[in-house]
Amino acid sequence: MPVEQNWVPQSVDVSVPSAARLYDYMLGGAHNFAVDRLMGDKIELVMPHARSAARINRSFLGRAVRFMVEQGVRQFLDIGSGIPTVSNVHEVAQAEDPECRVLYVDRDPVAVAHSELILAGDDRTGVLQADMRDPESILDSPVARRVLDFDEPIGLLMLFMVHWVPTEADPWGLLKHYREALASGSYLAITHFANDHDNEGAKAAAERMNQAGGDQVVQRGRDEILALFGDFELAEPGLVGFAEWRPAGPGDISVDPSLNRVAYAGVARKP
Ligand SMILES: C[S@@+](CC[C@H](N)C(=O)[O-])C[C@H]1O[C@@H](n2cnc3c(N)ncnc32)[C@H](O)[C@@H]1O
């Protein structure tokens, strides 16, 4: 007898994999469908350490948020936030300072529905279903104005996210728009799949994802990713392999050096 999945919003197309649900599957989550699991298994065939890549990215999220809190940031805008899993931004930030506020944004209805469930009753957080390619729909939204104060520094997170934005949509112009909306002292954190490292597995994984016809991934080179930060000043150690950004313990870094360079990571401050 089929199990009723009452968490599935009606607008969800369960016939193509989604970036949010695929990532949830790779992290060991339960909010994914057969089509996502099939894609995840296909990816593992060509990229055996794919699940480690997801975990390394998630670990970077924690390090970046704690770093920003240390720098005095108390509010966060997490765009492309995904399906809630362990160590979400508000959990990491509020563990450092319970006053921290977080707005989660994703275009995926499953990610948004779950974020709403988890955050119900926490008035220091908010959730918005929106596409990052329409910055006004995020920056001018009532929930953004309720949760965030744009006159104060904000930590803007775009993790494993901008590589889903096609080049035709001008991710550099979009990022400029977001950067300009932030106050001085704000921070921008990005992780982004790389195409200039010797990692055939990651390339083959991206091809498989794109062939499936769902969200399309674009791997980019270091200079293209660096340009997303504009005139923001990169914190040490700069734009590096995502495992190499201030690793805090053995779980942050893989024994496979090529895996550590699957994606670039950086955190930069608005002067
Ligand atoms: C791989 S998940 C990353 C989740 C989280 N940021 C992390 O790094 O752990 C990528 C997320 O970006 C979202 N996404 C992709 N393109 C988007 C867009 N144009 N606007 C908003 N969200 C988008 C997907 O729905 C997905 O939930």
Q: Which residue has the least CA distance to atom 12 on ligand 1?
A: 80
Query: 83-132: per-residue pLDDT in tens?
Result: 998 889 999 999 999 999 999 999 999 899 989 988 988 999 999 999 99
Mean pLDDT of 38-50: 93
Mean pLDDT of 10-19: 82
In the reported structure, the alpha carbon of residue 131 is separated from the centroid of ligand 1 by a whole-number distance in angstroms of: 9
Query: 234-269: per-residue pLDDT in tens?
Result: 999 999 999 999 999 888 888 888 889 899 999 999
Q: What is the pTM of this model?
A: 0.95
Q: For the ranges 65-79, 94-108, 158-172, 205-219, which has the lowest average pLDDT?
A: 205-219
Q: Which residue has the least CA distance to atom 24 on ligand 1?
A: 20
pLDDT of residue 98: 96
Pocket test for ligand 1, best of 26, 107, 115, 158 (most atoms within 8 A of CB): 107
Query: 19-36: per-residue pLDDT in tens?
Result: 999 999 999 998 899 999
Q: Which residue has the least CA distance to atom 26 on ligand 1?
A: 20
User: What are the structural domains, with CATH classification, of the chain?
Assistant: 19-269 (3.40.50.150)
pLDDT band at 212 (very low <50, low <70, confident <90, very high): confident
In the reported structure, the alpha carbon of residue 84 is separated from the centroid of ligand 1 by a whole-number distance in angstroms of: 11
In the reported structure, the alpha carbon of residue 19 is separated from the centroid of ligand 1 by a whole-number distance in angstroms of: 7
132 CA closest ligand 1 atom index: 20
Checking if the pLDDT of 227 tops 60, the result is: yes
Q: Which residue has the least CA distance to atom 5 on ligand 1?
A: 81
In the reported structure, the alpha carbon of residue 1 is separated from the centroid of ligand 1 by a whole-number distance in angstroms of: 33
Pocket test for ligand 1, best of 106, 159, 209, 219 (most atoms within 8 A of CB): 106
CB 60 within 8 A of CB 159: yes
Percent of the chain scored above 90 by pLDDT?
78
In the reported structure, the alpha carbon of residue 83 is separated from the centroid of ligand 1 by a whole-number distance in angstroms of: 9
Q: Which residue has the least CA distance to atom 7 on ligand 1?
A: 159
Task: State the Cα angle at 137 between 174 and 17, rounded to 5°.
Answer: 75
pLDDT of residue 95: 97
Give the pocket of ligand 1 (CB within 6 Å): 19-20, 23, 57-58, 61, 80-82, 106-108, 111, 131-133, 159-161, 164-165, 215
80 CA closest ligand 1 atom index: 12
Mean pLDDT of 219-246: 97
